[in-house]
Amino acid sequence: MKSFLDHLECTSCRGTFNAEFPHQTCPDCDKVLYPKYDIENARTAFRKESLNTRPHSMWRYREMLPVRNDENIVTLGEGMTPMLKTNQLATFMGSNNLYIKDEGVNPSASFKSRGMSAAVSRAKELGFTKLSVPTAGNAGGALAIYAAAANMEAHIFMPVDAQASNLKESAISGAHLTLVDGLIGDAGKISREMAAKHGLFDLSTLKEPYRVEGKKTMGYEIAEQFGWQVPDAIVYPTGGGTGIVGIWKAFEELETLGWINAKRPRMFCVQAENCAPLVKAFHEGSKTASPWNDAKTMASGLRVPSAIADYLIIDILRESHGGAVTVSDEEMLAGMKTVASLEGVFMCPEGAATAVAAQKLLSDGTLSDQDSVILLNTGSGLKYLDLLEQSPI
């Protein structure tokens, strides 16, 4: 097996760059870079049937991931997470085809494992030994464990009010943890300063090209778990947005490979009502989102005032005829209890937000009871026990 990684391409100006050299964002316009693959040759070498004998991890899609040499892959078994067809929750919400893709069973108990496995592996291949990331919590914990597995240094910059589980996960894994009095944007500023000063490679969300490649494997798995079809709708909790753009990228690649047809799911972005820059921009008809002032929500993964990929996310929502929905903290807490009591899935607040949003979309007729709908639960509720102690449900 080999990677068919070919080059990097800017998602805005379409400039192309050599993938064998380290890059962050586009050097010409400072927008997001995507890895691009030699799919024409991959079509003959990489076939669906080959997956039958491969490990149940995201690296089963090895040819369409960006690591050239197997010895550089840093994996803890991430990916191939369950696709659970709901029964009682579906009835409660008025749906006949409601699914939960449960990312909480990943090694770091969140979907961040995927992105960090890919990014740390590629950073190792490119010769880096010291990595940094600003994080609302889960990305920091994920970097800490993958850097430990790779024998690399991890420097993590995290808001002081992040979940205790994220702080402890980072510390016990040997990361250098800096707590920041502010939001993820403030952590990002300090992370970039420290990276420049100490020669760290910054793995900020979509400010390097490879975390999205790990996240896109959710799209590959969704298609595989649906028998090489796609659902009618995907409801996704959106902070930085790597997952939503990664899934969309996956479907484009799968169609080019000839594994799926041109059908796409309607993509729905869910944000917290007190931090909803993408929802606001979508409903105002804007192409980009203005930074959100005074962002507040208990869901740390949604407390992202601005996203570098705003233009990509908004385009996906419009192209897919999807939409954007806000959910309150109180609704998230109630959603966690509803899903856990009806289906036994202990969702994180961000995941519970998708259940609340889907119920709104079903109630107002945006989604029909016959639509196949996937809720993306991006992490385990077990990482939020301190939050639940403060706000009992």
Residue 351 has φ and ψ, to the nearest 5°, of: -65, -40
* pLDDT at position 193: 86
CB 300 within 8 A of CB 379: no
CB 78 within 8 A of CB 114: yes
Give pTM, 2 decimals.
0.95
Q: For residue 141, what are the contacts with CB-CB under 8 A and spacing of at least 6?
A: 108, 110, 112, 135, 165, 166, 169, 170, 173
Does 68 score more than 80 pLDDT?
yes
Split at pLDDT 50, 70, 90, the class of 239 is: very high
* Mean pLDDT of all residues belonging to the chain: 95
Averaged over 94-100, what is the pLDDT? 97
3-state secondary structure of 117: helix
Split at pLDDT 50, 70, 90, the class of 389 is: confident
* pLDDT at position 391: 67
Does 13 score more than 70 pLDDT?
yes
* pLDDT at position 184: 77
Q: pLDDT for 246-268, tens place per residue?
A: 999 999 999 999 999 999 999 99
Averaged over 171-199, what is the pLDDT? 87
CA–CA distance, 229 with 59 (Å, rounded to integer): 20
Angle at 343 between CA 232 and CA 233, to 5 degrees: 10
Q: pLDDT for 267-322, tens place per residue?
A: 999 999 999 999 999 999 999 999 999 999 999 899 999 999 999 999 999 999 99
Q: What is the CA radius of gyration of the chain?
A: 19
Q: How would CATH label the architecture of 83-109+212-390?
A: 3-Layer(aba) Sandwich (3.40)
